[in-house]
């Protein structure tokens, strides 16, 4: 695997190194030793999947509050999505910064999202499936989010959402938080 650092501290685009032959290819997508060597949380305890029927479905931007912060390893197994991450870690040199990457079923790239960083995406195709590996057990009491169009971040999305949940569209402005 090739670990490409992204602009937000501790985030990475991870590209597989396929071994191809007449059958197709084989590639490793996770190795706890390699994750540890790059300072990443290699304790991935939970797997989840998100299926999105319609192009321009937007999910996020979600994160877990202390003491239940979670790191995520995200990949697109079907379709395509534009993924955005926002650094919400107090004291981080990239705090309140954001970056984005496209993950799709053709490039097989993965996005590593460190603890304290919000994650969301907008689908670029119908029938898009996102697979998550997560470092902590989900805690409903500690789930939080920031709005996709919050002026505090000025995120450049490739399209406005066609489908978004009331929860995701209803987060208060980040600047209004105490």
Angle at the Cα of 52 from the Cα atoms of 156 and 71, rounded to 5 degrees? 65
37 DSSP assignment: H
* List 56, 62, 82, 119, catalytic entry: 62
Q: Which two tokens stand for residue 25?
A: 């290819």
Angle at the Cα of 115 from the Cα atoms of 112 and 117, rounded to 5 degrees? 75
62 is catalytic: yes
* List 82, 83, 112, 132, catalytic entry: 132
Angle at the Cα of 122 from the Cα atoms of 118 and 127, rounded to 5 degrees? 130
Catalytic residues: 62, 132
């Amino acid at each position: 695997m090739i670990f490409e650092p992204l602009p937000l501290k501790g985030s990475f685009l991870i590209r597989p190194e396929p071994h191809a032959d007449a059958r197709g290819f084989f590639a490793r997508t996770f190795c706890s030793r390699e994750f540890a060597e790059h300072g990443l949380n290699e304790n991935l305890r939970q797997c989840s999947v998100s299926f999105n029927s319609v192009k321009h479905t937007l999910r996020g931007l979600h994160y877990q509050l202390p003491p239940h912060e979670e790191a995520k390893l995200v990949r697109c197994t079907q379709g395509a999505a534009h993924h955005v991450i926002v650094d919400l870690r107090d004291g981080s040199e990239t705090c309140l910064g954001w970056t984005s990457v496209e993950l799709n079923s053709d490039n097989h790239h993965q996005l590593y999202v460190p603890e304290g960083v919000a994650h969301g995406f907008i689908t670029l195709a119908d029938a898009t499936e996102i697979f998550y590996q997560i470092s902590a057990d989900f805690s409903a009491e500690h789930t939080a989010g920031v709005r996709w169009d919050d002026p505090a971040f000025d995120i450049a999305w490739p399209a406005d959402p066609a489908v978004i949940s009331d929860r995701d569209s209803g987060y208060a402005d980040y600047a209004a938080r105490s």
